[in-house]
Every structure is written in structure tokens, then in C-alpha cells.
A and B are shown apart, each in its own frame.
Chain A
Amino acid sequence: MDPITVAGLVAASAAEILKLVGEAVETSRAGNESAALAKLDQALSQFEASIPGTRHELDAVKARIEQQIRDKFPPPTEGTPV
């Protein structure tokens, strides 16, 4: 599509102007949509890929908490009065 210029618009007929404007809107809309969609797809992919790592982190937390409980409440050793 030819770029819209002031001189071009003044010279063009009303129907031509509407056609040019329609094309410009469609181009701009398609460009914005495609950029926004690409950004969303990238964010979603990164987010989804990070879930297993977070699950491992929660497992590690579970193990550390278990250790804290064992340290605070050690099992009674032989000969120790319960």
C-alpha cells in the first residue's frame, strides 16, 4: 500500500480516501495484534516451563521442614526416659 500523504489525500476522491484509511487501519491493527500475541505467547511459554522447577523447589522445602522437625524433636535414644 502507498503511504498516505496530505497531498495524496487532498487529491484523492472520498471513496479512495476511505479505501486508503481502511487499509491503513487494517495494517496497523494486524501489526499490533501480532506483536501483542507474540508477547503473550512468549510470557506463557516461559511461565509454563517454570512450573516443574517450582515443584522441585516445594519438594526441597518439604525436605528441609522435615529436617527441622527431626532436629527439634529428636527420636528418643536407648536408655533415655520417655
Chain B
Amino acid sequence: VTRFIIAWLVLFCATACTGFKTPAYSTLTAMVGATDLARQQLPAQCEKAQTGAVTKATTEAEARASTSLIQKRCDAGLAGIEATGQTIRAARDGISDTAAALNDPHVLTWAKGAVDAYRNLQQLLATLDVKLPTMPGGT
């Protein structure tokens, strides 16, 4: 019985104390999900913002200037969404290709790249009233 308890203590520690790739993959999956939600909201939010600008404008030049500015932000938003996906894929490939533990500096660099891309996108989309959830995993 003592050996059984020791065995399960070893099993518990091996599971809880070592860095596995699984949590990193789950966090990246959550980031993809959140970024995809932003992608789904983007066209409707862009249309809403531009329709409001047209309604508010008193001249054609004013309408064109303000809608053009919003369109540029929308295009940048989609480019940012796409770039975030690419960074997440790079992190996925980096983590998958290495046998190192998750505290390996290279893995941290890949993960940081994905997190930075996500945060930049969060700020960009906020200007279009598209709310990207807080960083999945709470980091």
C-alpha cells in the first residue's frame, strides 16, 4: 500500500510539476477562437461605423473623408486578424517542433509573439468598437 501511495505521488508530481505542451496548444486554440470572433464582427461593425459617418456628414467631401478613414482602419483590422493567425501558426509550429520544456526561451519567444500580435489587434479593433476578449489564459 505504501508503494502504491508513493507511486501515485510520483504520478501526480510528474503530471503537475513538468511543463507539457498541452496547455500551450489549448491557449493558442482559445486565441484562434477569439480572433475568429473578431473577424466575424468586423464587416458589420465597419458598415455600422461608415453608415453613421455618412448620416452625420453634411457634404459629400466630408462623407468621403470620414468613410475612407474608417475603411482604412477596417482593412488594417483584417490584416491584423490575418497576421495574428500567422503568428499563432508560427508559435504552434515552434512549440510542436521542439522537444524542450515550455520554459525553453525559444518557446517563450514564439508564445510572446502570438500574445503581442493578439494585444496589438485588440487595440486596433477597439477603434472600430470590435471587442476582442482578454487574452485567453489570462496572461
Give me the interface of A with B, judged by CB distance under 8 Å. 4, 6, 9-10, 12, 14, 17-18, 20-22, 24-25, 28-29, 32-33, 36-37, 39-41, 43-44, 46-48, 50-51, 54-55, 57-58, 60-62, 64-65, 68-69, 72-73
Which of A10, A32, A43, A50 has the largest count of B CB atoms less than 10 A from its CB?
A: A43
Q: Evaluate contact between A6 and B4: CB separation under 8 angstroms.
A: yes
Bound form: Cα–Cα A32–B18 in Å: 14
Q: Evaluate contact between B50 and A40: CB separation under 8 angstroms.
A: no
Q: Is B139's CB within 8 Å of the partner chain A?
A: no
Q: Which secondary structure dominates where chain B touches chain A?
A: helix
Known: A39-B29, A72-B63. A50 touches B71 (CB 8 A): no
Measured CB to CB, the nearest residue on chain A to B95 is: A37
Q: Looking at the complex, which one of B3, B25, B39 makes contact with A17 (CB distance below 8 Å)?
A: B3
Give me the interface of B with A, judged by CB distance under 8 Å. 1, 3-4, 6-7, 10-11, 14-15, 20-22, 25-26, 28-29, 32-33, 35-36, 39-40, 42-43, 46-47, 50-51, 54, 57, 59-60, 63-64, 67, 71, 74-75, 78, 81-82, 85, 88-89, 92, 96
